[in-house]
């Protein structure tokens, strides 16, 4: 039965994971706001629902990709990207950079928060400067993921296309980070003027 429904499950994952992931990215301000008690309940529910949907579809996709009748070709490459399966090491390094660089930037630029939380404890979360800094960190992740995930997908496809090349994918890594920085600037500018 599952083999017969597998194409429908794969299609659901193909469409659902990007949609749920976009929901997680767009509503990611709600988790920092939950920490200091100012989250919008509706938006928080949407973010948590999107996160749970993305995780459920991801696990479903991983189970479907493990069977022998999994598709081949470009469709498989796209599904592998969404299921984080058979990724080239360059793509893994790029993803780690996407996740770590905003945190490093935040800790470097906002060191005072660490000192403030260390000295005041949970009471520091009541300060508007701390709340603004947490919102800024969430926005930094939003912009980084919006600018970087499409480039990560292109890097994944490039690594699949150039399977025999060992050095070439690594040469594209600096361009990936430059492209992500450009995307952050573009999305940040659009968000600024959109307000």
- Interval 21-46: pLDDT, tens: 999 988 888 888 888 888 899 999 99
Host H or E run for residue 65: helix 41-65
pLDDT in tens, 97-133: 999 998 888 888 888 888 888 888 888 888 888 888 8
Q: Where are the beta strands (DSSP E) in 14-131?
A: none
**Amino acid 5: pLDDT:** 56
70: helix, coil or strand?
Answer: coil
Stretch among 66-80, 93-107, 153-167, 168-182 having the lowest mean pLDDT: 153-167
Quote the pLDDT of residue 3: 58
Map residue 68 onto helix, strand or coil: coil
pLDDT for res 4: 57
Enter the tokens of residue 15.
Answer: 């469409």
pLDDT of residue 100: 94
Look over the chain and give the mean of its residue pLDDT values, rounded to a whole number.
88
Q: What is the pLDDT of residue 44?
A: 92
Contact of 157 with 77, CB cutoff 8 Å: yes
CA 1 to chain centre: 33
Question: Cβ contacts of residue 194 below 8 Å, gap of 6+?
Answer: none
Token pair recorded at residue 35:
């920490």
pLDDT of residue 17 exceeding 60, the answer is yes
Are the C-beta atoms of 57 and 12 separated by less than 8 Å? yes
> The tokens of 182 are what?
């450009």
Distance CA 75, CA 71 (A): 7
- Cα 155 off chain centre by: 15
Residue owning tokens 């993921």: 145
> Exposed, middle or buried by CB within 10 Å (0-12, 13-18, 19+), for 148?
buried
Please report the pLDDT score of residue 164 as a whole number. 63
pTM of the model: 0.85
* Alpha-carbon distances, residue 129 vs 38, 125, 192 (angstroms): 14, 9, 20
The tokens for 138 are 């969430």
What percent of the chain is modeled with pLDDT above 70?
A: 95
Q: What is the pLDDT of residue 163?
A: 67
């Amino acid at each position: 039965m599952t083999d017969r429904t597998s194409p429908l499950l794969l299609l659901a994952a193909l469409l659902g994971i990007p949609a749920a992931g976009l929901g997680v990215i767009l509503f990611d301000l709600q988790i920092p706001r939950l920490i200091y008690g100012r989250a919008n309940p509706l938006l928080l529910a949407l973010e948590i629902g999107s996160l749970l949907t993305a995780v459920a579809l991801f696990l479903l996709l991983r189970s479907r990709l493990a069977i022998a009748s999994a598709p081949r070709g470009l469709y498989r490459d796209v599904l592998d990207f969404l299921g984080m399966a058979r990724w080239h090491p360059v793509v893994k390094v790029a993803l780690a950079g996407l996740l770590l660089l905003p945190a490093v930037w935040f800790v470097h630029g906002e060191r005072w928060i660490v000192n403030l939380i260390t000295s005041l404890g949970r009471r520091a979360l009541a300060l508007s400067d701390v709340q603004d800094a947490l919102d800024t960190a969430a926005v930094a992740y939003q912009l980084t993921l919006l600018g970087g995930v499409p480039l990560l997908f292109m890097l994944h496809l490039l690594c699949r296309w150039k399977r025999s090349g060992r050095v070439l994918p690594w040469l594209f890594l600096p361009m990936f980070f430059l492209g992500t920085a450009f995307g952050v600037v573009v999305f940040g500018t659009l968000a600024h003027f959109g307000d």
